[in-house]
């Protein structure tokens, strides 16, 4: 049975993904930055591994068959974090996935990544980082899926998508 590494597990998408995978009986391991983030996952019997997109994360890939990259620097950071998390973190994920022979990488991007300069000025670095990360994964030779959601909210899901 395959095991999926969730990179960005402590974020909003990551937590939901971990919970849904756990409920479906899909084995996952949540990559978190610090032990302070463990309690939420341990309360739900979701295994964790320490890894840092800006530091050491190689050990997180051991024993995993695929990875899901849902990490993001968040709306309260600057372009520097957007580059190191959203772009460089995604690039490192693809590199390590190839090195470890993972069967697939799923990457959450943005619907506006195709035309980063068409977005609001404050979001352009994010859209540009996502576009570059998408291109990196697409050219990596890895089997991959790039998910491009539109506007994300904290509303309850409808269970539908278009």
Residue 71 tokens read as 């990490």
Edge-to-edge strand ranges of the sheet holding 104-108: 48-50, 28-32, 4-7, 66-69, 104-108, 144-147
pLDDT of residue 27: 97
- Give domain limits for the chain: 4-147
Is 4-147 a domain of CATH 2.130.10.30?
no
- 111-128: pLDDT as tens digits: 888 888 888 888 889 899
Helix ranges, 55-150 (H): 79-81, 88-100, 124-138
**DSSP 3-state of 48:** strand
Contacts with 34 (C-beta within 8 Å, 6 or more apart), sequence order: 50
Give the pLDDT of the chain (162 residues) as one tens digit per residue: 689 999 999 999 999 999 999 999 999 999 999 999 999 999 999 999 999 999 999 999 999 999 999 998 877 888 889 999 999 999 999 999 999 999 999 999 988 888 888 888 888 898 999 999 999 999 999 999 999 987 766 777 777 765
pLDDT (0 to 100) of residue 59: 96
List beta partners, residue 66: 4, 104
Strand 28-32 vs strand 104-108: parallel, antiparallel, or unpaired? Answer: unpaired
Q: Which two tokens stand for residue 84?
A: 């190191």
């Amino acid at each position: 049975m395959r095991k999926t590494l969730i990179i960005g597990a402590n974020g909003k998408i990551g937590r939901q993904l971990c919970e849904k995978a756990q409920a479906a009986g899909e084995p996952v391991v949540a990559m978190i930055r610090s032990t302070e983030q463990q309690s939420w996952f341990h309360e739900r019997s979701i295994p964790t591994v320490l890894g840092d997109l800006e530091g050491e994360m190689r050990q997180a890939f051991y024993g995993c068959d695929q990875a899901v990259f849902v990490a993001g620097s968040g709306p309260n950071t600057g372009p520097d974090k957007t580059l190191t998390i959203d772009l460089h973190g995604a690039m490192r994920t693809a590199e390590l996935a190839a090195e470890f022979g993972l069967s697939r990488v799923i990457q959450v991007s943005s619907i506006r990544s195709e035309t980063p300069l068409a977005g609001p000025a404050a979001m352009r670095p994010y859209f540009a980082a996502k576009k570059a990360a998408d291109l990196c994964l697409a050219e990596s030779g890895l089997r991959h899926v790039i998910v491009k959601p539109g506007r994300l909210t904290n509303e309850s899901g409808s269970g539908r998508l278009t």
